[in-house]
Each structure stands twice: as C-alpha cells, then as structure tokens.
C-alpha cells in the first residue's frame, strides 16, 4: 500500500467500521467502492474481509445471546455454496465489470430500503438458503454479503434488537470462509496484511464507539441517511467506471 493512500484508507475503514458497529451492517458497502477507487479492488477485497471478520468477532463477544440461530444456520449453509462462485467471478472478471456490478448492487439495495413500505412477508424459513447463497456469492466476489441477508431479515420482520447480533452470527462463519478463499486465491499479499495490522487500532476504536452509539442513537433516524449516502457512493463508483 503506497504511503500516500494510508490516511484515506484509515479514514474509510474508520467510518465504515463505525457504521457496521452502530447499525450491524454497511461496512463493506461503504468501504469497498471507496477503497477500490483508492487502492484497487484486488487490495480492497481481502483487506475489507479481514476487517469485517474482526468486527463480527468483536460484536459477538458481548451480543452472541441475541443471535437467532434458527435463521442464521440456513443463511450460512447457502453462503458456503455461493462463496466459491463469487471467488471465481473475482479471479476471472475484469475489474471495471466488478465495480459496475458492485455499484448496481449497492444502488438497488439502498433503493429497496428507502422504499420498503411494501408489505411483503416471507413466512417460509427455507428461503434463507437462496438469500444466503446470493449473499455468499456477492461476498466471495465483492465482500458485500450483507444486502441479501438484510433484505431477508426485513422480509422476515426481524425484531430490531435481534437484527444486529444475528447479522454478525451470519457474517462471522461466512466471512471466515471468504478469508480462506482469499488466501487460497493468493489475495493475502504482504501489503494487504501490513495494511490490516496498521488499521487494526483504528478499527477496534470504531467498534467501541459504534457500540456506544448503538445504545444511544435511534437507527430509525440515521439509517435513511446511510442509504442515501450509499446511493451517492454507488453513483460515484459507476461514474469512475464510465469515466476512468
């Protein structure tokens, strides 16, 4: 990682981690498009995966009792099948195409959540396998395994107090498999590991601050702002693909 990118990388990781720790999700969707513009996607992808797994472990140390395990295991099983597919995409597809797909995923996810007044309700838990597979595929390629799971939780009408913890219960094992896949694919370079170790104090500080904000701030006030921000980032990423 070039020295001139160090400060932007740390700033991006701080705010993306703060978002994840506060609301339970959103770190990869913030970090991946921004980091891919600063460092390139083949550096950003393994770095964000390492940070995301660290966040999940940190949150679950105190919140594991709130995990809905009956929902999480189906999502995890689906993800384990989807992750290798995503890794193949990452290794074989050109970077502009990956960035374009990532921008589209983020935009659609944000739009869905801003317009989620639709009274849809998934009653059959077995749909979790499909949502988990989709999340695993997106996670293996772009570290964005969250959107399908968030949408599933919304359609299942998960309670607010269980959402944050259950997401981490999904992110941790699926993230672990993504890490293994990245290692096998040769994405764990010395620069990536060095970047992770340098960013670790910033990430852990953001986790602690996010835990405090989670207890003090109503997500209903700030989540729409996060979605608008994500939509803006997706448009910026799409712009960088069209006008490199």
Of 243 and 136, the one with more pLDDT: 136
What is residue 116's predicted lDDT score, i.e. its pLDDT? Answer: 64
From residue 139, alpha-carbon distances to 8, 148, 190, 213 in Å are: 23, 10, 22, 26
Residue 170 to residue 147: CA distance in whole angstroms = 12
Q: Is residue 219 very low, low, confident or very high in pLDDT (cuts 50, 70, 90)?
A: low
From residue 46, alpha-carbon distances to 7, 98, 244 in Å are: 18, 15, 23
What is the DSSP secondary structure assignment for residue 159, as one 8-state letter? -
The token pair that represents 74 in the structure block: 């189906």
pLDDT digits 0-9 by tens, 117-165 = 556 677 888 899 999 998 888 888 777 787 788 878 877 877 766 777 8
| C-alpha 36 chain-centroid distance | 14
The token pair that represents 55 in the structure block: 């966040």
What is residue 191's predicted lDDT score, i.e. its pLDDT? Answer: 92
**Contact criterion met (CB below 8 Å) for 68 and 156:** no
**Domain boundaries of the chain, sorted by first residue:** 3-242
pLDDT digits 0-9 by tens, 35-65 = 988 988 889 989 999 999 999 999 898 888 8
What is residue 117's predicted lDDT score, i.e. its pLDDT? Answer: 56
- Phi-psi region at 26: left, alpha or beta (left = phi > 0; alpha = psi -120 to 50): left
**pLDDT above 70 as % of the chain:** 94
User: Mean per-residue pLDDT for 68-97?
Assistant: 86
User: Mean per-residue pLDDT for 195-206?
Assistant: 95
The CA radius of gyration of the chain, in Å to the nearest whole number, is 17
What is residue 147's predicted lDDT score, i.e. its pLDDT? Answer: 79
Q: Is residue 194 very low, low, confident or very high in pLDDT (cuts 50, 70, 90)?
A: very high
What is the DSSP secondary structure assignment for residue 5, as one 8-state letter? G
Q: 104 pLDDT exceeds 70?
A: yes
Q: 201 pLDDT exceeds 90?
A: yes
């Amino acid at each position: 990682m070039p020295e001139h990118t160090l400060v932007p990388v740390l700033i991006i990781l701080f705010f993306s981690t703060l978002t994840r720790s506060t609301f339970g999700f959103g770190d990869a969707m913030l970090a991946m498009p921004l980091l891919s513009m600063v460092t390139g996607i083949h550096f950003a992808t393994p770095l964000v995966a390492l940070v995301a797994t660290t966040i999940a472990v940190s949150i679950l140390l105190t919140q594991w009792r709130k995990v809905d395990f009956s929902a999480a295991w189906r999502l995890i099983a689906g993800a384990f099948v989807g992750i290798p597919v995503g890794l193949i995409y990452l290794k074989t597809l050109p970077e502009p195409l990956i960035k374009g797909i990532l921008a589209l995923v983020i935009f659609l996810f944000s739009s869905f959540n801003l317009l989620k007044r639709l009274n849809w309700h998934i009653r059959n838990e077995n749909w979790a396998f499909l949502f988990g597979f989709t999340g695993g595929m997106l996670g293996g390629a772009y570290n964005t395994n969250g959107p399908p799971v968030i949408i599933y939780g919304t359609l299942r009408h998960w309670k607010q107090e269980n959402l944050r913890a259950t997401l981490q219960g999904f992110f941790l094992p699926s993230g672990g498999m993504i890490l293994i896949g990245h290692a096998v694919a040769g994405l764990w370079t010395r620069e990536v590991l060095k970047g992770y170790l340098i960013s670790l104090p910033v990430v852990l500080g953001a986790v602690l601050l996010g835990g405090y904000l989670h207890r003090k701030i109503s997500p209903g006030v700030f989540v729409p702002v996060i979605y608008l921000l994500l939509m803006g980032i997706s448009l910026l990423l799409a712009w960088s693909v069209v006008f490199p």
